Amino acid sequence: MDIKLLLAIITGLWYWFAGSIAGYTLFPTLKSPLFIGFILGLLTGDPVKGIQAGAAIEIVYLGIVAPGGNMPSDRALAGLIAIPLVLTTDTSVEIATTIAVPVGILGVFLNNIRRYINTIFSQKADQYANEGNINGIWNMATIWPLAVGLILRFPVVFVANYYGIDLIDSVLEFIPEWIMHGLTVMGGMLPTLGFATTMLMIGKAQYFPLFFIGYFLVKYFSLSTMGAAIFGLSIAFLIMYMGGFSSNSENISDKKKATNKIELTNEDYIKQMMQ
Amino acid sequence: MKNTDRQSIHLDKKDVNSTFYRWWWSAEISNSFERMQGLAFGASFGKVLKKLYGNDKNMLTEALHRQLTFFNTEPMWGSIILGSTLAMEEKKAQGEKLPAETITSFKTGLMGPMASIGDTINAGTIQTIVYTIAISLANEGSVVGAFLIVLYSIFVLFLGRFLMNLGYREGQKSIVDLLESGKINQVIQTASILGMFMMGALSATMIRVTTPVSFNIAGADFVLQDTFDMIIPGILPLITVLLIYYGLKYKKISITKMMLILTVVCLLGSLIGIL
């Protein structure tokens, strides 16, 4: 088997597994371009060249945190396509890095498609929950999404590394601009669904002002999520200690007081009318 | 099942750890826009819930649905939530009067803070330090950095396992105390407030909706987005969340349908150039 085909298969499978994030703590290793460079370098006989190419790409993505799992760019895809170029062709590390960045953005689309398709499996898992079929649920959470991931991710890397980067470029050009843009817009809008469902689940309309406080604290003062969490926790405790909450029994007496009050005022009103 | 039978159901250390490893393997595989890690949560709990509620199919189905709801956190720091939830399910199965909403509120209230802590400490700090060291070693021609990254992955795995056990141990204790002191209402309300606040904060960072609409009136450029930003920053993402919340709550639109609506809106908006 020639090295090009071998690399194409290995990188394709790698992208499938790393992109699926199977075994959560494996991903800092498997998605790292530096580690990818080291292993691909071992395969082609020059681990130092590989790890240096990987390190150059790693720098681009250093310090990027994926809040809520939303990667702004896919460094694994970037590494898996750019590093083989360095190892098997005359491409310089610099050129490979510039190729890597737009490729990384393509990876975000793939991830969004995956999370879009995965909604089907949660629906199916609900059905299995009705039947009490725990193995069915487990399969919906593992085997099926992994299968979809294989179909979605393997071909991209395999084709790119076997037939070259030119093909990827022409594929990207073939997709109309408005569809690509529409998909980007959708990526920005879809997290809304998760938030709206959580708010439905919390289910207390009287807490809505807190949603606005949280939203505008971040919008006006660019707070980090951690900073927001500190404020949120403080507000929650403040309300609790100031006695804003009462246990159930007190709630009932409050209600009684309130109804008494209304009755009183009604009586007053009637009295006034009588006079 | 009789109460006396129920009280004899106990989870052991093996149950806790195997739930952790199922979570570790599956946490991100089935991530979807609808539930995020909810399916993985439910799937990881399947075996334990079967052990706890096995003979009562209604209770099992109820518990499975409870754990299949929307969930999103940093999976390793979030393990502490899984551990405590496990303790609560055990108590519930043993016949304690633990309302299902308590478990749901507990999960939704803590997932945001744990995500912030996890992302900040793990991804934001330790991981970045490890990568930085690995990159500088690689630039000097050393491959040791690749192994450092592997060590980091192993460290996070054990951290998650530790937190899962901690959550199970302490969660169980503190939950009994809470039940006895009747403070559970306060905890639910504190968690709900924090949850609502965090939904606002996360909406502000994660939802991106902007408009490219601009006019040229008498030689002066009029950019609609600038006007929006001037009045209220982030008004478009905010309107999007509120509209979707409204649609889900009052128009009873299903999530799948809502997603299709969003797709059509995004693609059409991109085609006519308003999104």
Interchain contact B124–A (C-beta under 8 A):
yes
User: Are residues A229 and B112, on separate chains, in Cβ contact within 8 Å?
Assistant: yes
Indicate the pLDDT class of residue A138, thresholds 50, 70 and 90.
very high
Separation between Cα atoms, residue B52 and residue B42, nearest integer Å? 14
Location of structure tokens 């802590």? B117
A140-154, A224-238, B93-107, B136-150: which has the minimum mean pLDDT?
A: A224-238
DSSP-assigned letters across all residues of B188-226: HHHHHHHHHHHHHHHHHHH-------EEEETTEEEEHHH
Interchain contact B267–A (C-beta under 8 A):
yes
Location of structure tokens 């498997």? A30
Of A141, A146, A224, the CB nearest to B39: A141
User: Are residues B39 and A118, on separate chains, in Cβ contact within 8 Å?
Assistant: yes
Answer whether residue A89 shows pLDDT above 70: yes
Going by C-alpha positions, the residue among B21, B48, B262, B259 that lies closest to residue A118 is B259
User: B97: which DSSP letter?
Assistant: -
Which ipTM score applies to this complex? 0.71
Neighbours of B44 (CB within 10 A): 27
Separation between Cα atoms, residue B49 and residue B67, nearest integer Å? 10
User: Are residues A34 and B135, on separate chains, in Cβ contact within 8 Å?
Assistant: yes
Question: With contacts defined as CB-CB under 8 Å, which chain B residues touch A182?
Answer: 266-271, 275
Range among A173-187, A207-221, A250-264 rated most confident: A207-221
Q: What is the pLDDT of residue B177?
A: 58
Interchain contact B55–A (C-beta under 8 A):
no
Indicate the pLDDT class of residue B136, thresholds 50, 70 and 90.
confident
User: Are residues B190 and A237, on separate chains, in Cβ contact within 8 Å?
Assistant: yes
Q: What is the pLDDT of residue B268?
A: 93
- Looking at the whole model, is its pTM more than 0.90? no
Residue A258: strand, helix, or coil: helix
Beta bridge partners of B221: B216
B4-18, B72-86, B150-164: which has the minimum mean pLDDT?
A: B4-18
User: What are the angstrom distances between the C-alpha of A195 and each of A223, B93, B117, B207, B275?
Assistant: 18, 30, 19, 10, 21
Answer whether residue B63 shows pLDDT above 90: yes
Answer whether residue A262 shows pLDDT above 50: no
Interchain contact B25–A (C-beta under 8 A):
yes
Question: With contacts defined as CB-CB under 8 Å, which chain B residues touch A108?
Answer: none
Of A29, A48, A140, the CB nearest to B143: A48
Separation between Cα atoms, residue A87 and residue A47, nearest integer Å? 10
- The pLDDT of B70-83, averaged and rounded, is 91
Range among A126-130, A255-259, B255-259 rated most confident: A126-130
Of A54, A121, A192, the CB nearest to B240: A192
Kindly report, residue by residue over B166-205, the tens digit of the pLDDT. 889 887 665 555 555 555 566 667 777 877 887 788 788 7
Distance from CA of A65 to the nearest CA of B (A): 6
Separation between Cα atoms, residue B200 and residue A212, nearest integer Å? 6
Kindly report, residue by residue over B148-168, the tens digit of the pLDDT. 999 999 999 999 999 999 889
Exposure string over A4-17, b if 16+ CB within 10 A, otherwise e: eeebbbbbbebbbb
User: Do residues B86 and B19 lie in contact, with contact meaning Cβ atoms separated by under 8 Å?
Assistant: yes
Indicate the pLDDT class of residue A225, thresholds 50, 70 and 90.
low
User: Are residues B209 and A188, on separate chains, in Cβ contact within 8 Å?
Assistant: yes
Of B123, B199, B201, the CB nearest to A217: B201
Tokens of A86: 């360095």
Question: With contacts defined as CB-CB under 8 Å, which chain B residues touch A212?
Answer: 200
Tell me what the pLDDT averaged over chain B comes to. 84
Interchain contact B234–A (C-beta under 8 A):
yes
Kindly report, residue by residue over A34-74, the tens digit of the pLDDT. 999 999 999 999 999 999 999 888 877 765 555 445 566 78
Distance from CA of B4 to the nearest CA of A (A): 23
Q: What is the pLDDT of residue A187?
A: 65
Who has greater pLDDT, A274 or B18? B18
User: Are residues A58 and B189, on separate chains, in Cβ contact within 8 Å?
Assistant: no
User: Are residues B270 and A65, on separate chains, in Cβ contact within 8 Å?
Assistant: no
User: Are residues A229 and B139, on separate chains, in Cβ contact within 8 Å?
Assistant: no
By C-alpha distance, the chain B residue nearest A31 is B149
